[in-house]
Structure 1
Amino acid sequence: MTPAGRFAPSPSGELHVGNLRTAMLAWLFARSTGRDFLLRVEDLDRARAGAEAEQLRDLEAVGLTWDGAVVRQTDRGAVYAEAIGRLAAAGLTYECFCTRREIQEAPSAPHAPQGAYPGTCRNLDPAELEFKRSTRPAAIRLRAEVAEYTVRDVLHGDFTGVVDDFVLRRNDGVTAYNLAVVVDDAAQGVDQVVRGDDLLPSTPRQAYLAGLLNIPVPEYAHVPLVVNSDGARLAKRDGAVTLTDLARTGVSAADVRNLILQSLGLPAGTLENALAEFRPADLPREPWVWTGPSAARERTLAAPPA
């Protein structure tokens, strides 16, 4: 299997400038290291009708190409069930009946992040387990044997994060993100994961789980986000941030691609041209501040011809 990088959006709506920047970075990392570049639709949750087609259209509009067919998580339920079954057979799972509110209100271990699971259902006796099964469906949690785990990141160096008894399958039967992403990356030969640095805190959980499943841990690169003028992560509520909305203001998809490349210190033009100048060590380490379509038009007009 050819080593690969990937971009894996959730089809909840159109991609915004921040999503497109991360996708372009994932493409540049993969292509610069001779890897394939794959596209996976993470549609287990928050899928909106038509969003996948919109996202593929926008990725193509900024010049992205990918190898092979698009993979969808909703087609892979049996693979996730098999992985959970292996963990269960090894005694590494248990049923959990806690509500989200109960978890938030429960005391947690010192230094654990808010929402880290405190182990309430970890050691239920048979009578308690039988009673709780009669009250509500169970989620399946990992029985973690460590409290923290260290991963190596290309941009951040060593990062140590909390590993709690995180959910593998929700009580509605939907496979949880942390399990699905680990299984999918391994199945697709993804050995390089480039994504937003807001996901760095969850990475130790995923790397630890990969080890339990005898899956190689990929190379990680968590890249800076795009933020609004207040320093908050860019979102669609920030105005014209999608290609569709920006086009209405006179900013084309090519303009957006060039602005993103310039924000990375790369020359405007095609992604193939930028690839020749791409060096991970030279990437900006701070978030890119998006100030709106007016500023985008000004930067576009000031940019040299591609």
Structure 2
Amino acid sequence: ADYDAIIEQMIARGQAYYCWCTPEELEAMREEQKRLGLPQRYNGKYRDGGEPVPGGTPAVRFKNPLEGSVSWHDKVRGVVTVNNSELDDWVIRRSDGAPTYNFCVVVDDAAAKVSLVIRGEDHVSNTPKQINLYRALGYDVPEFAHVPMILGDDGKRLSKRHGATNVLDYRREGYLPPAILNYLVRLGWAHGDQEIFSIDEMLQFFRIDDVHSAASTFNTEKLRWLNQHYIKESTPQALLPQLLPHFAALGVTADEATVLRAIPHYQERAKTLKEMAEHMAWIFVAPTAFPADAAKKAFKGGETAHLLQDLQTRIAALADVNAETLHDA
């Protein structure tokens, strides 16, 4: 979109204006308002015109309505109303020539014919500004749904300090795509008491209007439980191509045919594919000598050592070593 052309048209129509205030003036304005206990916002100094500052470069501000209010029916939060007197004439183009986020998102969404904006509740304060801009530009105002924040186990907003926050990070940790989708769709939404959803069921039952407005807590243990369910329900053939990269990450060269045979023996226990690869890696790694001192400590009493010596004798006596003869031994 040609943001500058749109802004110049708005200035010509009296919907926007040049603001020559310096950063120092704006800071002094905020400090004075703070001292007087007033809301900190632009005071409209250049709203009705004013002399340009020699050598200065102006920002451009949107001329927000002074009266009335902005209301919308949020699909998550219900009816939200904000008085225009609570808003100020916000910047749509900075003095360096860069258009601002709130301006660009309106122009871009209108050009893309976006009919529903779904975003975090931290954007609620942007919505009345954007609705006024939609109307000033003659655009259709889309519907809005502001979903609640996701909290970590400590009740604080989910962030990198809680661990992985990128979906690809969870893939690398060995979580299956259906498990991730199933868990995410249940954050702040429910369909009765049902916990497990196929993708077809998600498409059938999910409605943005049914999302709760209260914040959701990200429970890693529940995600692991869901992932274990999907691992159990998957076939070894389906798990194989997703499991092999985890052996490579461990530096283990794994034989596909052997992995395929081993998967059923680990499906019941592993909660992630990464865990499964770690538990299965011993199959492909040559045994190392056990330190004598550690062996004496571990095999205290002699009974364990006796059993191992007996097992060694039985294996050595086998004419053919395979799964069946080892089991019989």
Q: TM-score range by the shorter chain?
A: 0.5 to 0.7
Give the unaligned 5+ runs of structure 1: 1-75
Asked which structure has the greater CA Rg, the reply is 2
Q: Which deviations, in whole Å up to 9, do the C-alpha atoms of 1:256-283 show, x marking residues without a partner?
A: 2121123332564554431111234432
In structure 1, what is the equivalent of residue 227 of structure 2? 300
Deviation at 1:130, TM superposition (A): 2.7
In structure 2, what is the equivalent of residue 203 of structure 1? 127
1:155 aligned to 76, 79, 92, which one?
A: 76
More deviation, 206-215/91-100: 91-100
Task: Name the amino acid aligned to 2:115.
Answer: D
Distance 1:111 1:302, change over 3 A: farther
Q: Which runs of 4+ in 1 moved over 6 A?
A: 108-111
Q: Distance in 2 between matches of 1:234 and 1:81?
A: 37
In structure 2, what is the equivalent of residue 229 of structure 1? 153
In structure 1, what is the equivalent of residue 6 of structure 2? 83
Task: Note if contact 1:243-1:252 (Cα within 8 Å) is conserved in structure 2.
Answer: no
Q: Distance in 2 between matches of 1:173 and 1:122?
A: 19
Distance 1:270 1:189, change over 3 A: farther
Secondary structure of the residue that 1:107 maps to in structure 2? helix
Task: Note if contact 1:250-1:297 (Cα within 8 Å) is conserved in structure 2.
Answer: no
Task: Note if contact 2:17-2:62 (Cα within 8 Å) is conserved in structure 1.
Answer: yes
In structure 1, what is the equivalent of residue 43 of structure 2? 118
Q: Distance in 1 between matches of 2:233 and 2:38?
A: 52
1:184 aligned to 101, 108, 111, which one?
A: 108
Task: Note if contact 2:17-2:60 (Cα within 8 Å) is conserved in structure 1.
Answer: yes
Q: Distance in 1 between matches of 2:156 and 2:102?
A: 25
**TM-score normalised to structure 1 length:** 0.63
Deviation at 1:305, TM superposition (A): 5.0
Deviation at 1:168, TM superposition (A): 0.7
In structure 1, what is the equivalent of residue 59 of structure 2? 139
Q: Distance in 1 between matches of 2:99 and 2:165?
A: 31
Q: Distance in 1 between matches of 2:229 and 2:198?
A: 18
Q: Distance in 2 between matches of 1:279 and 1:125?
A: 51
State whether structure 2 residue 15 is matched by structure 1 residue 92: yes
Distance 1:174 1:250, change over 3 A: same
Give the unaligned 5+ runs of structure 2: 235-329
Deviation at 1:247, TM superposition (A): 3.2
Q: Identity of counterpart residues, as a percentage?
A: 30
Task: Name the amino acid aligned to 1:296.
Answer: L
- The structure in which a higher percent of residues are helix is 2
- With CA pairs under 8 Å and 6+ residues apart, which has the higher RCO, 1 or 2? 1
Deviation at 1:209, TM superposition (A): 0.9
Secondary structure of the residue that 1:130 maps to in structure 2? coil
Task: Note if contact 1:98-1:121 (Cα within 8 Å) is conserved in structure 2.
Answer: no
In structure 2, what is the equivalent of residue 107 of structure 1? 33
Q: Which deviations, in whole Å up to 9, do the C-alpha atoms of 1:141-166 show, x marking residues without a partner?
A: 11222254222212222212333101
Task: Name the amino acid aligned to 2:205.
Answer: E
1:260 aligned to 184, 202, 226, which one?
A: 184
Distance 1:203 1:257, change over 3 A: same
Q: Distance in 2 between matches of 1:125 and 1:172?
A: 20
In structure 2, what is the equivalent of residue 11 of structure 1? none
In structure 2, what is the equivalent of residue 63 of structure 1? none
Task: Note if contact 2:178-2:199 (Cα within 8 Å) is conserved in structure 1.
Answer: no
Task: Name the amino acid aligned to 1:160.
Answer: T
Task: Note if contact 2:179-2:226 (Cα within 8 Å) is conserved in structure 1.
Answer: no
Secondary structure of the residue that 2:134 maps to in structure 1? helix
Q: Distance in 1 between matches of 2:171 and 2:100?
A: 36
1:173 aligned to 97, 102, 119, which one?
A: 97
Q: How many aligned residue pairs are there? A: 221
Deviation at 1:171, TM superposition (A): 1.7
Task: Name the amino acid aligned to 2:64.
Answer: A
Deviation at 1:110, TM superposition (A): 7.6
Deviation at 1:169, TM superposition (A): 0.8
Q: Give RMSD over aligned pairs.
A: 2.9
